[in-house]
Amino acid sequence: MVVLVTGGARSGKSTFAERYASRLGSGGIYIATAQVYEEEMRTRVRRHLERRERSDFDWETVEEPYHLCDALNASDHPIILVDCLTLWLSNWLLFYEKEADPESRVLLKVEELIRTLSERPGTILLVTNEVGDGIVPEYKLGRQFRDLAGVMNQRIARISEQVILVTAGIPIELKSREFKLDDGNG
C-alpha cells in the first residue's frame, strides 16, 4: 500500500507519518533523503532523529539522497517511511541543473520511482510538500522545482491508496473524498 502524506512546511507531516507507521507494526525503515549542508538543516535532521529515538517504534534509518528505488528494493521490511520526496526531487534537479533538459531527466527518476512503488509489497509512507500554493518563484530553478514537485505529487497520488493532507497538524484523508467527473460514459 502506498500512502502519500502531503502538506505545507512545518504542518506536521513527518510526525503524522511516523505515528501512522507505528500503528502498522513495531518497527520499520526510515529512508531520509536530506543532504546536510548547513547547521540549520543539521538541527532539523537531529530533531527528527531524536523524535524517532523517543518513540516506541523501532526505526532503522537509511540515508539515501538519490537512489531511492535502490533503497526501497534493498529492504524487505513491510513498513517503510520516506521523508521526503521533495528533497529527493530537489537533489536530482540540482544534480541535472546544468545539463540539457533537466526537467525530463528528473521526470524519468519520478517514473522509475512510480514503477518501484507499484511493484513493491508492504506499506510505503511517502512524505512530500505542497509547494505550489505560494507565490511564483522569481528564479527559473525555483519555478522548475515547483512545477516538477506538482507533477510528481499528482503522479504519485494517482497510484496511492491513500493521500493524506496535513494542515496545522490535522490530517485529512483526501483520496476517498476525490470528486469524480462524469466522463459521459456512464
Q: What is the pLDDT of residues 150-170, one digit of tens each?
A: 999 999 999 999 999 999 999
The mean predicted confidence, pLDDT, of the chain is 92
34 labeled binding residue: yes
CA 172/CA 168 separation, integer angstroms? 11
Residue 184 is assigned to a structural domain of this protein: no
For the cut 80, the answer to whether the pLDDT of residue 182 exceeds it is no
Q: 76-107, pLDDT tens digit by residue?
A: 999 999 999 999 999 999 999 999 999 999 99
Question: In the chain, what percentage of residues exceed pLDDT 70?
Answer: 98
Whether 165 is in a domain gets the answer: yes
Measured on CA atoms in the order 73, 77, 79, 84, is the torsion positive or negative?
negative
Closest CA to 32 of 58, 65, 73, 70: 65
pLDDT in tens, 36-81: 888 888 888 888 888 888 888 899 999 999 999 999 999 999 999 9
pLDDT given at position 181: 82
Q: Is residue 185 part of a domain?
A: no
State the catalytic residues.
48
Question: Does residue 101 lie in a domain region?
Answer: yes
Q: Work out how many domains the chain is built from and give that number.
A: 1
The reported pLDDT for the residue numbered 10 is 85
Q: Which domain holds residue 109?
A: 2-176
Q: Is residue 183 in a domain?
A: no
Confirm if 27 and 79 have CB atoms less than 8 A apart: yes
Q: Does residue 155 lie in a domain region?
A: yes
Per-residue pLDDT, 55: 85
7 assigned binding-site residue: yes
Cβ contact 71:64 at 8 Å:
yes
CATH code of the domain containing 170: 3.40.50.300
83 a known binding residue? yes
Name the residue type at position 143.
Answer: R
- Structure pTM? 0.91
17-41 pLDDT tens trace: 999 999 999 999 999 999 888 888 8
Residue 180 has pLDDT above 90, yes or no: no
**Does residue 21 form part of some domain?**
yes
Any residues with CB less than 8 A from the CB of 129 and at least 6 apart, and which? 6, 7, 8, 9, 13, 84, 85, 86, 149
Rounded Cα distance between 169 and 14, Å, is 10
182 part of a folded domain: no
Q: How is residue 180 annotated by DSSP?
A: P
pLDDT on residue 184: 63
Beta strands in 27-99 (DSSP E): 27-32, 58-63, 79-83
